[in-house]
Amino acid sequence: MKLLARLRRNKSAEVISGDIANREVEGLSQSQIVRRRFLRHRGAMISLIVLGVVILFVFSALDLSIGFLKYHGWWKYSITDQPDIRTNGCPPGLGGCPTFSLNPFGAFGLGNHPFGQDDIGRDYFALVMRGAQRSISVMFIIGIVGGAIGTTIGAISGFYRGWVDSVLMRFTDFIITIPSIIIGSVIGYHFGNLGVTFLALYLGLFAWTGLSRLVRGEFLTLREREFVDAAKVAGASNRRIIFKHILPNAVGVIIVSVTLIMSGAILLETALSYLGFGVVAPDVSLGLLISQYQDSFTTRPWLFWYPGIFIILIALTVNFIGDGLRDAFDPRQRRRISRKEKAAERKVAAERQG
């Protein structure tokens, strides 16, 4: 009897956790489920907020001009200003030390030169902000360009199959074999001086290979599903089937791998700039700053720390957002049901029985 009771309890525990998982998706559309799951992913939500704050902070700091629109940044220095190098308050022989402080009893706050000054007195905070702006723009441009090309190529080859598929996939294979740093350097060395937008556009032209393979695989399975047959029977054109029926179902795969492309892009851009094949002086990039000041690490470490921290902050948050999205879009994913919830459910079930 006892054994039976225990068995039943085990059984009911399993049913309960299934219940919770089912109940929370009851009556919700796919996008609502995804949104809910994403909002519940703590790491991803924190990362989203942090990334948003970083982007606002970084882009509002310096003067910007887009066409006729001029925006006046809140930071007092620009990247070309050369104020006098601060010496008082710094260790002897080390001019331009940072004023940023988290000490609540001392000089709390940003101060005059929060990240210090470089050799010729330029404000390092302004330089890092400009570098972070460059990296973030490159990240988004590569993500958009790579995402668009990858989706198109993957969709076409997965939907039409046959020789179109073979040609496109062989082409993808060709590009996949070339390490991205090699292709990036070849492009970057020539196009780096055209400005960061062009560099990002060109890099985006080669960043789509992994995505296109995934999208192709998704299209290959989706096109065999009943709803596609139904659409065909109803007389929908190929274009309509691709855009209205299959693409919305493949959007999870696309979004997740675009975030991966983006986090890879920021590391690629900084690495290329570090090697000297990406963003070139007088423009500023986080990778370039690190490469310029890596030798001063022992004497003036702030010149080295801050650009690196910004690279890691951006890449890490993007990676976590990608992870949250993957969990949210994965239909097999079941949320972990906490002990508290299980206990509460069991209580309810027991009351219902007794």
Is 16 near other proteins (CB under 8 A)? no
Q: Toward other proteins, which CB reaches closer, 178 or 344? A: 178
Two structure tokens written together for 13: 């525990």
Is 280 near other proteins (CB under 8 A)? no
Measured from the CB of residue 29, what is the shortest distance to other proteins in angstroms? 27
Is residue 101 helix, strand or coil? strand
Is 164 near other proteins (CB under 8 A)? no
- What amino acid is encoded at 218 in this protein? E
Measured from the CB of residue 12, what is the shortest distance to other proteins in angstroms? 20
Maximum alpha-carbon separation in the chain: 86
Of 99, 117, 212, 263, the one binding other proteins (CB under 8 A) is 263
Is 186 near other proteins (CB under 8 A)? yes
Measured distance CA(16)–CA(166) in Å, rounded: 48
Measured distance CA(279)–CA(200) in Å, rounded: 10
Contact 62, 126 (CB under 8 A): yes
Q: Toward other proteins, which CB reaches closer, 208 or 277? A: 277
Is 198 near other proteins (CB under 8 A)? no
Which segment (118-126, 151-159, 175-183, 215-223) binds other proteins by CB under 8 A? 175-183
Of 75, 140, 189, 198, the one binding other proteins (CB under 8 A) is 189
Is 281 near other proteins (CB under 8 A)? no
Is 145 near other proteins (CB under 8 A)? no
H helices of the chain, in order, are: 2-23, 30-40, 42-61, 124-160, 162-177, 180-191, 196-204, 209-222, 226-233, 238-240, 247-275, 286-293, 302-329, 339-353
Measured distance CA(123)–CA(98) in Å, rounded: 10
Give 274-332 as a DSSP string: HHTSSS-TTS--HHHHHHHHGGGTTT-THHHHHHHHHHHHHHHHHHHHHHHHHHHH-TT
Measured from the CB of residue 168, what is the shortest distance to other proteins in angstroms? 12
Measured from the CB of residue 112, what is the shortest distance to other proteins in angstroms? 26
Residues that bind other proteins (CB under 8 A): 170-171, 173-183, 185-187, 189-191, 263, 267, 270-271, 274-277, 287, 290-291, 294, 297-298, 304, 308, 311-312, 315-316, 319-320, 323, 336
